[in-house]
Amino acid sequence: MPIEIINLSHEYNAKTPLAKVALCDINVKISDGEMIALIGETGSGKSTLVQHLNALLLPTEGKIQIGDQIIEANVKSHGLKQLRKKVGLVFQFPEYQLFEETILKDIAFGPKNFGVSAEEAEQKAREMIKIVGLDENYLEKSPFECSGGERRRIAIAGILAMGPDILVLDEPTAGLDPKGAKDMMDLFKRINEDFHKTVLIVSHDMEQVMTYCQRVIVMNHGKIIEDCNVHEFFQSSDLLKQLHINPPALLQFKDLCKEKGIEISKDALSIEECVREILKGVKR
């Protein structure tokens, strides 16, 4: 299900003295099966934009087309419930939203809400718990017995159970230990590659963006200021520094080398390539 956002703006508290423009003239196309990172400083409009993708917020100007559905400013939209089923939104710290007695009930809650029969919803829960890397024994446990990382997986299983085509995740690895974060990112990659779902990740972690995503969309003050391929994006750390975003360690390393007069070409985007270039320079 492709997404096209056309001249979209969003103003909070429009027509009041508290009006604040959060998004300004956004244009983006997202094709099926992409894995995209949405980055930018805190307050740059990332969350506001993401909430438009399943109509939790409606544009105050412009429009957004998701599959066949068009949501336009000042036009009453129908079928938003169907849309919300197709775009799964995982908020930050989704584990805080678990509430049911058992994990089975918690995962089945979403699909049931969308009108699926109880049996079918439970069936979904059984499938999804495995996809997020936990086994079926968990289903009868209380979500509150589980560790933070496990709870987060359960929350994500609950979103997947609704069968979305597009998965949008707001900082999905915040607070996890390095292994937990890596497992989580591997899971999204698998959801993207094996289940052909479009994945959009809001992230502050540039190592992850560099390793897992193909495309980067950068927001600043409510506007999209860059939208390009990951390799192009990480050729220099200048833009990142302007945006107060920590460059990935590899770029920091390259910058430090440069200060000391060791030049590494912009195309070297792995540790291996960088080291090879440095050694070539030394031997010469």
Partner 1 sequence: MKKIEVKECTFSYDNTRNAVDAISFSVEEGSYTTLIGHNGSGKSTIAKLLIGLLEMKSGEIIIDGLTLNQENLYTIRDKVGIVFQNPDNQFIGATVADDIAFGLENHLVESSQMNTIIEKYAKSVNMQDYLDREPTRLSGGQKQRVAIAGVLAMNPQILIFDEATSMLDPQGKAEINALIHQLNQEKKMTILSITHDIEEAALSDHVIVLDQGHVVMEGTPEEVLCHEKELLDLKLDIPFSLKIANEFEKQGVKLKKKITLEGLVNEICQLK
Chain residues that interact with partner 1, rule: CB under 8 A: 41-43, 93, 147-149, 174-180, 204, 244-246, 249-250, 252-253, 256-257, 260, 262, 271-272, 274-276, 278-279, 282
Closer Cβ to partner 1, 41 or 127, answer by number: 41
140 vs 177 by CB, closer to partner 1: 177
Q: Which tokens is 3 given? A: 């997404």
Report, in Å, the least distance between residue 103 CB and partner 1.
Answer: 17
Nearer to partner 1, 118 or 249 (CB): 249
Closest approach, Cβ 59 to partner 1, in A, equals: 25
Element holding 206 (H helix, E strand) = helix 206-212
d(CA 111, CA 70): 24
Please give the DSSP secondary-structure letter assigned to residue 163: -
Q: How far apart are CA 228 and CA 195, in angstroms?
A: 24
Asked whether the beta carbons of 170 and 202 are under 8 A apart, the reply is yes
257-to-92, 176, 238, 250 alpha-carbon distances in Å: 36, 31, 15, 11
**223: number of Cβ within 10 Å:** 16
Query: Rounded to 5 degrees, what angle do the CA atoms 84, 81, 85 make?
Result: 35
* Minimum gap (Å) between residue 206 Cβ and partner 1: 8
> How do 61-66 and 3-12 pair as beta strands?
antiparallel
Q: Least distance to partner 1 from the beta carbon of 244, Å? A: 5
How does DSSP classify residue 34? Answer: -
Nearer to partner 1, 34 or 205 (CB): 205
The nearer residue to partner 1, 14 or 249, going by C-beta atoms, is 249
Order the strands of the 20-30 sheet from edge to edge.
Answer: 20-30, 3-12, 61-66, 69-72
- Residue 100 CB, nearest distance to partner 1 (Å)? 21
Closer of 38 and 250 to partner 1 (Cβ): 250
Nearest distance from C-beta of residue 154 to partner 1, angstroms: 14
